[in-house]
Structure 1
Amino acid sequence: MKKLGIIATLILLSFGVVFTSAAAQNQETEETKEVKLTEEQKNELAKLYDEAFEKKKEIITKYVEYGVFTVEKGDKLIEHIESHYKKLEENNYIPKYGNHKHHHDKGKQ
């Protein structure tokens, strides 16, 4: 009987965590929709993202050089990074992470 009580408590706690997490994610998404950055803030973020993406490209290039990735895989990764950067630019450097589904979720209903 004691085990049943512990199991029931764990189930209830896990539901609480899931619902709290979903609510927090929705709240974060709502908050980011309302933010307007100044030109100075966008320029500062642009500079930081430029530096970060250049470093990521440099790391991928090294992996290709060392044989960890094929040239094709390296090119694909760099293309993905550039696509991500372009989307950030289009969104005025405000990330839009909660507004899409991952491809592994497509088949689930």
Structure 2
Amino acid sequence: MRIFFCSLMVGLFLCVGSVTAAEAHEGCEDAPIQVELTEQQQQELAALSQSIHEQKKEMIDKYVEFGVFTEEKGNKIISMFDKHQEKLEENGYIPTWGKCKKGHKGDQDKTS
């Protein structure tokens, strides 16, 4: 009875894992949903985004000050934040998180 129960649980976990993995790729489509934000909506998002951006930069500066990050690493992280902020501005503050990304580092052939 104990072996049956353990087998049942393992089978259940495998089924749930495969369904979850399938759902993760379900919304992955080449054509993004087209949304148009009004000028007021873009201004609201710009203000929020800029505030968050400045706070993130302050936090990284504190990490550098406290010795958690080197100055070089802190500058690299801030540069990444700046690029992300620029991309948001270019896209009218509509994130592109849902787009499928092809050619991830993990997708590369590891035989080389």
Q: TM-score, normalised by structure 1?
A: 0.71
Note the residue ranges of structure 1 that are not aligned, 5 or more in a row: none
Note the residue ranges of structure 2 that are not aligned, 5 or more in a row: none
Give the 3 Å change call, closer, same or farther, for CA 107–10 of structure 1 in structure 2.
Answer: farther
SS at match of 1:17: helix
Q: Is the 8 A contact 1:64 1:74 kept in 2?
A: yes
Once residues 34 and 58 of structure 1 are traced to their aligned partners in structure 2, the CA distance between those partners, rounded to angstroms, is 34
Once residues 17 and 37 of structure 1 are traced to their aligned partners in structure 2, the CA distance between those partners, rounded to angstroms, is 37
Q: Which residue of 1 aligns with 2:96?
A: 95
Structure number with higher helix proportion: 1
Q: TM-score, normalised by structure 2?
A: 0.69
Q: Give the number of the structure whose alpha-carbon radius of gyration is greater.
A: 2
Q: Which residue of 2 aligns with 1:6?
A: 5
Q: Which residue of 2 aligns with 1:19?
A: 18
The aligned runs of 1:11-90 (5 Å cut-off) are 11-29=10-28, 33-39=32-38, 40-90=40-90
Alpha-carbon RMSD: 2.9
Give the 3 Å change call, closer, same or farther, for CA 88–22 of structure 1 in structure 2.
Answer: farther
Which one-letter code corresponds to 2:81 in the other structure? Answer: I
Aligned residues: 107
